[in-house]
Structure 1
């Protein structure tokens, strides 16, 4: 949707729609507080406050942005389960209850677009968080708000400028 809004004012910004998939297990005894991320395998793993395990890690479903939905591709899900059991073999008895996917915007460089549009200083973009929106949005919202109130873009937002794609789009 964000790329479509940009296009309405003549800006072409590269944004691909992806559908990250997650699995949720039955509740189990709490044993882990931090989020576990796999460096060499598709794994993102956390335990909810009620004990359910939420397992992901880059396994993609099928995005259907024109229908505003996505679908789990079930034959891809075992990759996350295997990675989880390699890290935590004691969880082999915990059943997966459901899977889900959601639509997410991804930029080519994996970095969000944050700041005013090219040639449209009154239209600000904040999209393409590539799966990190929940973590980044509070700080981004604060930096954007300060920029808008002061009338000057904060220097910390410069690397996220949409102009970084200008040469790629024109090429």
Structure 2
């Protein structure tokens, strides 16, 4: 009798990694951006660190999320949404917003409702494939976010990432 011992290891065939980050304060009297950078931890792992200071308590925060796909320059791709962040922090109400929040909530100090004031931190944020369940084509993407306080633009955060799905 011949026994063949076969060990099958299933690896996630999806790879996601940060490629660029750019943060701009549009109103220095309300928001000061102290840090916005990517840091390579391992060959295939890059983390995003963000540190901003809200200089005044803010009860009216709105965010506009847009996703672009790189094809001869960045072209709009599927998602262009605006959220009332204070309402969302009280009770999450949108599928894409919940998806984005679940990605960064473990790395952030944004764990309470408005008013937000003081340091806003996102430290060591990396993209985890176990939470990234959206069907996406392979390619380079840009997540562009504009943040408004009381209807006026305050800062923007643009992060680029590469999504690779090896099906072979």
On whether the aligned pair clears a TM of 0.5, the verdict is: no
Higher strand share: 2
Normalised by the length of structure 2, the TM-score is 0.26
TM-score (structure 1 length as normaliser): 0.25
Higher relative contact order (CA 8 A, sep 6+): 2
Comparing both structures, which one devotes a greater share of its residues to helix?
Answer: 1
